[in-house]
Amino acid sequence: MLVLMQNPNPPSPSDKWPFLLQSAIKSRDPFLGRCIHAPIIKHGLCLGVFLMNNLLNFYAKTGSFSDAHRVFDEMPLKTTFSWNTILSMHAKGGHLDYARQVFDDIPQPDSVSWTTMIVGYNDLGLFNSAIYTFLRMVSSGISPTQFTFTNVIASCSASKALNIGNKVHSFVVKLGLSGVVPVANSLLNMYAKCGDSVKAKFVFERMRLKDKSTFNTMISMHMQLGRLDLALSLFDEISDPDIVSWNSIITGYCHQGYDIKALETFSSMLKSSSLNPDKFTLASVLSACANLESLKLGKQIHAHIVRVDIDIAGPVGNALISMYAKSGAVQIARRIVQLTGTSSLNVIAFTALLDGYVKIGDLNPAREIFDSLKCPDVVAWTAMIVGYAHNGLISNALALFRSMIREGPKPNSYTLAALLSVFSSLASLDHGKQLHAVAIRLEEASSISVGNALITMYSRSGSIRDARKIFNQICSYRDTLTWTSMILALAQHGLGNVAIELFEKMLKINLKPDHITYVSVLSACTHVGLVEQGKSYFNLMKNVHNIEPTSSHYACMIDLLGRAGLLEEAYNFIKTMPIEPDVVAWGSLLSSCRVHKNVDLAIVAAKKLLFIDPNNSGAYSALANTLSACGKWEDAAKVRKSMKDRAVKKEQGFSWVQIQNKVHTFGVDDALHPQRDAIYRMISKIWNEIKKMGFIPDTNSVLHDLEQEVKEQILRHHSEKLAIAFALINTPEHATLRIMKNLRVCNDCHSAIKYISKLVKREIIVRDTTRFHHFKDGSCSCQDYW
């Protein structure tokens, strides 16, 4: 009655009760509705269909399901509106089973009935069911409304059902609804999300009326496709861009890697509009800060979040965690996790936090967070496993990987490729083979990412045959990276001519090489001394494939010329380079000067190198060794003294071999290994035997002024020789030996290992800093050119 008194135009007595019920619906007051229901019953008005529909609508809208059903069941006469009201109540409440029962009982479902079911399926993410319901609706002869179309098009968009979406579009045109803005916007959004930019443009250009949503959809699509100019031109057409417009530009810049542009746009938004950033804006700008590792700016944005009291649960909290973790403030990131809990922690934030702990070498807190995740997905498992592996905790990584296979999600190609990459860097062939077996069992071995990782793993572990086998197996799926990996592998194993043949084949099938491919093929030319071929490829790269040479390409050319003894040409090449020569360029020239004993140029290269990096121990050692090799002992001693005076530590040479998943490391004259006596007896025996076969120790490889006998003793106990002796003792007869070394193999060891391979009738594979040497039957794959 109070409502009636306050209304300036009170309804007629017959409309009084429906009017009051509609007012109660607006106020969402269940008590008020029941107060109105009571006099309706008292006055015997329960037979009026219109009035009872209003009462039913009230209970449905206020969530009183039982009261709504009671009214519905007691109605002597039900209209389609009655059925649709009770149907909508269940559909919007997420009770699809009840909704289906009601729908099946409707005598004559109309477009509202069908659309209500479609909306209900959409709200629960059952997009295929929504599309199927629409198809049934059409086959039943019911004409869809514009609201039906917007919902079914949204279902096609969410499920990427572009084929059905195209048919729905044709139906929209047939019914003359393509000019209705909400329908056209739905079509535009569908084509944009399904990646059909041509159709999206078609719809956009034919829209007579466009609203901000229209422009925002196109802006977002263009930004995601990297068409920044088109997106910005559309943005400029909007007279008063809303927060969605600004977010589309900011988020697009972040996705395309233009983080500074994203922050500049955010600053422009704050200056040129009265809009306040929402959680999506803040998540994007925090992501930009994370990528730039801009802790100061990230803290300012965090302060704004606290000041305006924005809830940090969800995307904003995850963005804050990522920003702090990537910017080095891992402890602050951890406190935010403790505040928000791990239930809302997404994989990106967890991975960033994990990376932060990996950088500081503390994985225990990361493991605690991982264990607290309710259902970690494959990305979280992979991040934790690779975190262990990158931190040298291989046993932990493998234990967690086994747990993943037993109780976690199925490892995907990224998990396997990431672990294979770790084993590649460790040159762990046994672990790599085990992982290859797992990949075969999981049917991921044919994946291009896993295939590429396997090629690299086998190559770096010294098994070029297995690498080539994998390359041949994934022939149907090869990409540029696959070919590049194989070319580089062949080059590193001394098969330069085969690598060049493969590169030429790559060109014939019109697969465009990238800058890394050219580094690989130039390296192949370097390892076999093909100077003119290397020059032609360098020109091909610049003039045909329009690839601007980087410092790596220039270093390859310097190495190519220097190894071939063309030292003056290499020096002139450096002087004409359009970029400033770096440590690698001068280091390559210096190394060649040592090999070819060019003291004058070695001094120039060493001075240039030390000017860039004063503490480069390699420069001092290479110069001292060059002087020693030329008999300039006093000058060499001065260089070594200068090195000592400046507290520059020389890198110690060592070799290692892996046997039964355990790595054994050896230095020169190593006396610490438990099998020392047996190793020294074995190397003494081998030394005597190969000398009988004609081996003459190269005492010039000892770059110190010592007696010949002392020099020979030093040579006999070089680290790679000790590693070979140990491996011969501890491996089955005829097994291949795989030795790794952190420095370039010396002339004496190279010559000695050729004799040893013939003596023991085994293949011996030695990897030094530049390449692999395959010793077999008294010869080496490098053909003595390294």
Answer yes or no: is 379 within a domain. no
What is the structure's pLDDT at 97?
87
What is the structure's pLDDT at 166?
92
What is the structure's pLDDT at 8?
45
Q: What is the DSSP letter of 655?
A: E
Six-digit token string for 374:
């309710």
Question: How far apart, in whole angstroms, are the C-alpha atoms of residue 234 and residue 252?
Answer: 14
Q: What is the DSSP letter of 547?
A: P
In this structure, are 179 and 226 located in the same domain?
no
Which residue is associated with the tokens 């020294």? 680
- Report how many domains make up the chain: 5
Q: Give every residue of the chain whose pLDDT is below 70, as ranges.
A: 1-51, 63, 426-427, 475-477, 701, 703-706
In this structure, are 168 and 182 located in the same domain?
yes
373-397 confidence digits (pLDDT tens): 777 888 888 888 888 887 878 788 8
Q: What are residue 779's phi and psi, to 5 degrees?
A: -135, 165
In this structure, are 204 and 164 located in the same domain?
yes
Domain boundary among 244, 267, 290: 267
Is residue 388 a contact partner of residue 419, using CB atoms and an 8 Å limit?
no
Question: How far apart, in whole angstroms, are the C-alpha atoms of residue 392 and residue 415?
Answer: 17
In this structure, are 183 and 216 located in the same domain?
no
Answer yes or no: is 38 within a domain. yes
Domain boundary among 178, 193, 209: 209
Residue 715, number of CB atoms within 10 A of its CB: 21
What is the structure's pLDDT at 35?
58
In this structure, are 130 and 202 located in the same domain?
yes
Answer yes or no: is 514 within a domain. no
Is residue 50 a contact partner of residue 18, using CB atoms and an 8 Å limit?
yes
In this structure, are 293 and 315 located in the same domain?
yes
Answer yes or no: is 444 within a domain. no
Is residue 604 a contact partner of residue 567, using CB atoms and an 8 Å limit?
no
Question: Can you give the length of the chain in residues?
Answer: 786
Is residue 85 a contact partner of residue 57, using CB atoms and an 8 Å limit?
yes
In this structure, are 8 and 48 located in the same domain?
yes
Six-digit token string for 554:
């220039």
Paired with 739 in beta bridges are 766
Domain boundary among 228, 246, 267: 267
Answer yes or no: is 446 within a domain. no
**Cβ within 8 Å of residue 237, ≥6 positions away:** 215
| Model-wide pTM > 0.85 | no
Parallel, antiparallel, or unpaired: how do β-strands 764-767 and 737-741 relate?
parallel
Question: How far apart, in whole angstroms, are the C-alpha atoms of residue 82 and residue 97?
Answer: 19
In this structure, are 731 and 679 located in the same domain?
yes
In this structure, are 146 and 231 located in the same domain?
no
Answer yes or no: is 706 within a domain. yes
689-748 confidence digits (pLDDT tens): 999 999 998 887 676 666 777 778 888 889 999 999 999 999 998 899 999 998 888 889
3-class secondary-structure state, position 741: strand
What is the structure's pLDDT at 1?
46
In this structure, are 250 and 203 located in the same domain?
no
Which helix (H) or strand (E) element contains residue 654? strand 654-659
Angle at 105 between CA 102 and CA 110, to 5 degrees: 85
In this structure, are 287 and 250 located in the same domain?
no
Residues spanned by the domain of 232? 210-267
Please report, in angstroms and rounded to a whole number, the separation of the first and last CA atoms in the chain.
102
Question: How far apart, in whole angstroms, are the C-alpha atoms of residue 273 and residue 243?
Answer: 10
Is residue 396 a contact partner of residue 386, using CB atoms and an 8 Å limit?
no
Answer yes or no: is 189 within a domain. yes
In this structure, are 133 and 164 located in the same domain?
yes
Closest CA to 387 of 422, 420, 414: 422
Is residue 86 a contact partner of residue 76, using CB atoms and an 8 Å limit?
no
Answer yes or no: is 645 within a domain. no
